[in-house]
Amino acid sequence: MPPLTPASSPVTCWSGQNAATLRECTAPKHEKGMKWVFPKFVYQGCGRAVGNKTTGRLELWACSEHNDDGTSRFVNYSRWLSVGFAVHQFTDVEGLTQLPTVDGLLSWQGYVQGKQYGYKSVLMYAGAPYVVTTHTDTLDHMREARAHTVPRPASELYGVTN
């Protein structure tokens, strides 16, 4: 059988590889993977964060963007060892309030005392350890940031069908 080409391949993985099924696609990782999982990442001038010492977090990317009124907010994208590690971090360690799961996405929000950008909003796939965290200066900016945070649909996390 000849190798699959983009025209004949039923699936294109996040990495650009062709596959017969989505199960053949590897999990997204590193900068290219984050750009796939979170398409907005491409436009945010993100850089790999150094000193990532949180247990279970495999990679962290720090970015910034602006609120509608021109003030700044900070956005972090991360990949975790497992969903469980991330849930533990946001629920048990940070004490954020978990919100109802919507469209296969877990979410938390809360206020971290003593931080200039103390309002924190977290969004994570229920079935995969990819997280976007937004840090803002006001509750209104946190709500605005949540409205602008749109990750790739969970069904396309590893690739797309052609």
pLDDT score, position 52: 74
Question: What is the 8-class DSSP label of residue 39?
Answer: G
Residue position matching structure tokens 């021109």: 70
Tell me the pLDDT tens digit for each residue of 38-92: 988 877 888 999 877 899 999 999 998 999 999 999 999 999 999 999 999 999 9
Q: What is the mean pLDDT of the chain?
A: 90
The DSSP string of 94-157 is S-PEEEEEETTEEEEEEE-TT-TT-EEEEEEETTS-EEEEEEESSHHHHHHHHHH--PPPGGGS
Q: Is the pLDDT of residue 2 over 60?
A: no
Q: Is the pLDDT of residue 10 over 90?
A: yes
Distance CA 13, CA 20 (A): 10
3-state secondary structure (DSSP) of residue 89: helix
Which top CATH class is 28-152?
alpha beta
